[in-house]
Amino acid sequence: MEKKRVYTIADEIGITSKELIAKLEELDIKVSSHMSTLTREEADIIVEMFKEEKAVKVKPKEKEVKKVDLVLEHTEHEEEPENKKSEKQDKKEKNKKQDKKESKNTGHIEIRKEEKQDKPETEKQDDDGIIVLDETVVVGEFATLIGVPPTQVIMSLMKMGIMANINQNIKFETAEKIAFEFDKLVELKEPEEEKEDIIIQEDSEEDLELRPPIVTVMGHVDHGKTSLLDAIRKTKVTDKEAGGITQHIGASEVYINGKKVVFLDTPGHEAFTQMRLRGAQVTDIAILVVAADDGIMPQTIEAISHAKAANIPIIVAINKIDKPTANIEKVRQELSNNGLLVEDWGGDVIDVPVSAKKGENLDKLLEMVLLVAEMEELKANPNRPAVGTVIESNLDKGRGPVATVIVSNGTLKVGDPVIAGTAYGKIRALVNDKGQRVKKATPSTPVEILGLNEVPMAGDQFVVMPSEKAARTIGEKRRIKQRDEQMKATSKITLEDLFDKMQEGEVKELDIVLKADVQGSLEAIRQSIEKISNEQVQLRVIHSGVGAVADSDIMLASASNAIVIGFNVRPTSSAIAMAEREQVDMRTYRIIYELIEDIEKAMKGMLDPEYKEVVIGQAEVRETFKVSGVGTIAGSYVTEGKVTRSSKARLVRNGIVIYDGEVASIRRFRDDVKEVARGYECGITLANFNDIKEQDIIEAYEMQEIER
C-alpha cells in the first residue's frame, strides 16, 4: 500500500508539519514526527478536510498583474573573440601535453581526480526543501543551514542534556530533533561508494615474468618455526629473541639450487593474530609447522584458517621427529580432522616429517617448496612502478621512520616517491635482509625503506607515485579523511547516557598508555588487551606509540589515572622520576604473553607479586675495548647510584632494550671490585654479550622481595 510522509502532506495543504501533527492528534491519529507515514486513504481524507475548511474562508481579491514585455540582452553567451579562443585552445593543448607527460612517468598508476562540487554535501537541499546532512555536523554549520542563530541551537542542545559549543559535532539524530523544533526538515545523506584515490592498472600477459615465491612459516608457539627457519637459512635468530619466541615479522632471502625463495617468519603466539594474517596476505605458500609430540594446538588451527582464507597452498612440516614421544600418524589424523588430508592418506596436502634440530629431511621440504612454486606459476612485471606491502615498521632514533616492505610487483628504486597509508616521502635508502644498502628491489624482494615522513601501519599497501607532490597530496587527503572518521567514531556522552549507566551499576574502567618497540607488536598488544575486557572491568588504550616511555606519557597517565605499559622499551630517567613523583604504575615487559597473563590475573584478583625490580644504578658507556678471551669491555662512567657485581643488568640503546642479563665483572684500573659508586669510571663486562657500543646505557637493578 502506498504511503505518504507527514511533511509532504503538510506541504501539499500549505501548513507547517507542527500544525498538521497537532491536528492529527485531535483526530486521534498518532504520529511521532514529521517523518512518520500515513496511508494514501488517510492522506486524501485529511487533504480534503483542509480544503473544505479553506473554502469557508473568504478569498482575498486577486491583484491585477500588469504584463510587461522583457527584452533580454544576449550578453552571457556572446561569441568570444577569435584571439581569446585561440589562447584557450593553446592552454588546453599545453595541459593535455603535460597530462601525457605525467602519465608516461606514472606507467601503471593513475590518480583519481576529484569532481568539482559547487556546494559542500551538507548544504545540499532537494526539491522539497529538505536539508541533507552527514552522520555528524558541526553546530555552527548546522545553525546556518536551518537559518537559526547558533545560540538557540546550543540552548536546545542543553535542554537535551548535551553540552556542545559552536565548533563541536552533533549526531544526525540530535540534529533532526532540533530541526523539527524550528520547522525544518532534514534527511540523512545516503553513503556514497568509496572511490580509490589511486588506481593500479593490471599488466598485460606478455609483460609478466616468473618471480620468486614468498613463503610464510606458521604454527603454534614453541613448535619450532624459528628453529626450522634457522636451519634453512643457516643463521641464528632464536637466541636473540626474548624467551626464544619471535617478537615481530622478519623477512629473509634464501637460495635453493640457485633459485631464490623469500621466507617470512610470522610469530606463533595467539596475540599476533593480526600480524600472522598480514603475513598470509603477502605470501604465496604457507609452511605449517606442527610438533610431532604435541600435535594440533589452538594456534595451529588459527594458522590453518588464515592460510585457507588467503587461498594459499599449505605444506605441512611435522617437526621434532627426533623426540621419543613423536607420533607422526597421530598428527596426520588431527590434520585430517581440521580439513587437511595429506597425500599419504589420499589427499592433496604435502607433508614432510623433519627435525630442525638435527637437520633431517630439510632438503626434501625445500624441494616441495620449489615444486609448489612451479605449479603456482607466480608472475610479476619488473618493468613498472613498484607496488607492495608494509610488513613491519618502527621509529629509529638515528634513521627516522623505517618500514620493512615486500615488493609484490614492479621495481622499487632509490629516489622513488612513495605513499603507504598516510605516510609519504622519497626513498633515501634501501637496505636488504643482510643489512646491505642496495639501489633497487625487484618483485618478491624484502627491503627496509628510509625516507618516509612518518611510521606507516604494518599491512599498508605502498605505491610508487609519479611525483613527491602527488604522494604528499594523497597522503594529506588520507590523513584528513582518517581524522574525520575518528571524529565520527568519538561520541560525546549525554546526561541521559550517564544516568542510564549509573542505574545499571558502577562500571569500572582501566585506562592504559601503551608503548612498544615496533608497530606490529603495538597492534597485537592493543588487540589482546581489548579481548580481555569483561563486564566488571573495561580496558581502554587511551594512547599508544612506538619508542621509549617519555615524560609526556607519564603526564597523560597521571591526568587520566592510567597505568603505563612498555613492551621491549625502557622509560627515560626523567620519566622514571616523574612516575615516582606522580605515583603512576609503570610496568615493562619483554615477552608479550607475560604482559597479557599479568593483566588477566590482576583482573581476576589473582596477581600476587612476590618481587619488584629496583634500579640501583646507571652507567654510560664512553669507550669499548675488545680483549681476547674476555670479550668486549665497556669503559663506563657511573652517572646514578651504583653498579654491583651481583646485580642484574640491561643494556639500553636509544630507549630500546638490547640485552637483559647479568654483570660478569667490574674492574677499576687492574683490580676486580664488588661495586662502583656514582662519579667513578670502571670497566664492565656483561655475561655472554659483546655487542656494546659507545653512548649505550647500562642499567643495574636488583629483584627485591615485596612484603605481604
Residue numbers belonging to the annotated binding site for GTP: 219-226, 265-269, 319-322
Whole-angstrom Cα distance, residue 177 to residue 156?
Answer: 9
Cα–Cα separations (whole angstroms), residue 428 to 281, 414, 465, 654: 27, 6, 15, 22
Q: Positive or negative, the Cα torsion across 54, 60, 61, 63?
A: negative
β-strands 186-188, 131-133: how paired? parallel
- Coil, strand or helix: which one is 176? helix
Q: Where are the beta strands (DSSP E) in 248-364?
A: 250-256, 259-265, 285-291, 314-319, 350-353
Residue 443: what are its φ and ψ, rounded to 5°?
-55, 140
C-alpha cell at 564: 603505563
Report residue 660 as a C-alpha cell.
637483559
The answer to whether 85 and 172 have CB atoms below 8 angstroms apart is no
Q: Provide the grid cell at 214.
A: 614468498
Strands in 67-200 per DSSP E? 109-111, 131-133, 136-138, 169-171, 186-188, 198-200
**What kind and span of H or E run contains 663?**
strand 656-668
- Who's near 2: CB < 8 A, 6+ residues apart? 39, 40
Among residues 541, 293, 470, 528, the alpha carbon closest in space to that of 478 is found at 470
Binding-site residues from annotation: 219-226, 265-269, 319-322
Assign 276 to helix, strand or coil. Answer: helix
300 in Cβ contact with 321 (< 8 Å): no
**3-state class (DSSP) for residue 521:** helix
Helix (H) / strand (E) element for 632: namely: strand 631-644
Q: What is the DSSP string of 204-233?
A: PGGG-EE---EEEEEE-TTSSHHHHHHHHH
